[in-house]
Structures are given as C-alpha cells and as structure tokens.
Amino acid sequence: MKAITREWLVRAADDLAAADLLLARDDLTNVAAFHAQQAVEKTLKAAIEELHLDLVRTPSLIRLYELVRAHYPVIADLDTLDRLEAVYIAVRYPGEMGLLPDGKPLPEEATAFYHFAQDVYQKVQSSIETFAQSA
C-alpha cells in the first residue's frame, strides 16, 4: 500500500471516530453526518491514490466513486451515497448548516450514515490490502 493511500485511510478513520463520538449527541446529528461524508470522501481518495489515478479535487462522492467503481465495486446503495453527498453541500452554506433537503438529519439517519461510511471504509481498506498482498 502506498504511503499516501495509508494517510488518506488514517484521516478517514479519524472522521469515523469523530462521527461515532458525535452520535451520542442528538443535537449534533448534522456534524456526525458531515464526518461520515468526510470519511467516505477520504476513503475514495485513498482508492484513487492506490490505483495511480489523477486525484480529482472534488467533494462529490458520486464523482469519486465513478472513478474507482470498476476496481472497488463496494457501494450498492447509491441513494445513500447521494444523500450523504448532500450533507457536505448543505454544510457549506450557513443558513442550512448540515441540513439535508428534509432538514437536519434525525439521529437514526446520522447513525445510518455512520454505518454506511464505516462499511465503505472497511470494504475499500480490505480490497486495497488484499490487492497489495497479491501484487
């Protein structure tokens, strides 16, 4: 595994840890969801680096996943990926801090985003490590 890949995965793990801690606070569901989004973004960027692709400077999870999907087809639920992407876009504008189109994520939604991000992280990390060992 390349050093830059490992660094992206460490940063993604940091975001997962932050999201996990924030889930204990129902008033911070938007922040927990944001960290889940960041974990997925950084995980996908790790995959891009490992594949020797040109890093695309975008927070678009859909775009990033399109780049790695052929090598790491780890996401079956593209609707959740799309909703998680909306968390990042919404957080960029002060009037809607971390709001989804339907409002601030419910605790159940934030938890689902966290588990989704955790699943993406684990699958990508495992795929990268398996490929690195066989190379």
pLDDT value of position 99: 53
pLDDT, position 65: 96
Quote the pLDDT of residue 69.
94
SS3 115: helix
Contact 75, 120 (CB under 8 A): yes
Per residue of the chain (135 residues), what is the pLDDT tens digit?
999 999 999 999 999 999 999 999 999 998 999 999 999 999 999 999 999 998 788 889 999 999 999 999 999 999 999 989 888 765 555 555 445 556 688 899 999 999 999 999 999 999 998 877 766
With tokens 């996990």, the residue in question is 20
Assess contact for 43 and 63: CB atoms under 8 A. Answer: no
Token output for 37: 């989004």
Task: Classify domain 3-134 by CATH architecture.
Answer: Up-down Bundle (1.20)
Whole-angstrom Cα distance, residue 89 to residue 3? 29
Residue 45 confidence (pLDDT): 96
User: What per-residue confidence (pLDDT) applies to 55?
Assistant: 79
DSSP letter (8 states) at residue 76:
-
pTM of the model: 0.89
Q: What are the structure tokens assigned to 84, written together?
A: 């998680």
Distance, CA of 53 to CA of 44 (rounded, Å): 11
φ and ψ of 100, to 5 deg: -85, 175
Cross-strand partners of 100: 103
Q: In angstroms, rounded to a whole number, what is the distance separating the alpha carbons of residues 73 and 6?
A: 20
**DSSP three-state, residue 96:** helix
pLDDT, residue 54, reads: 87
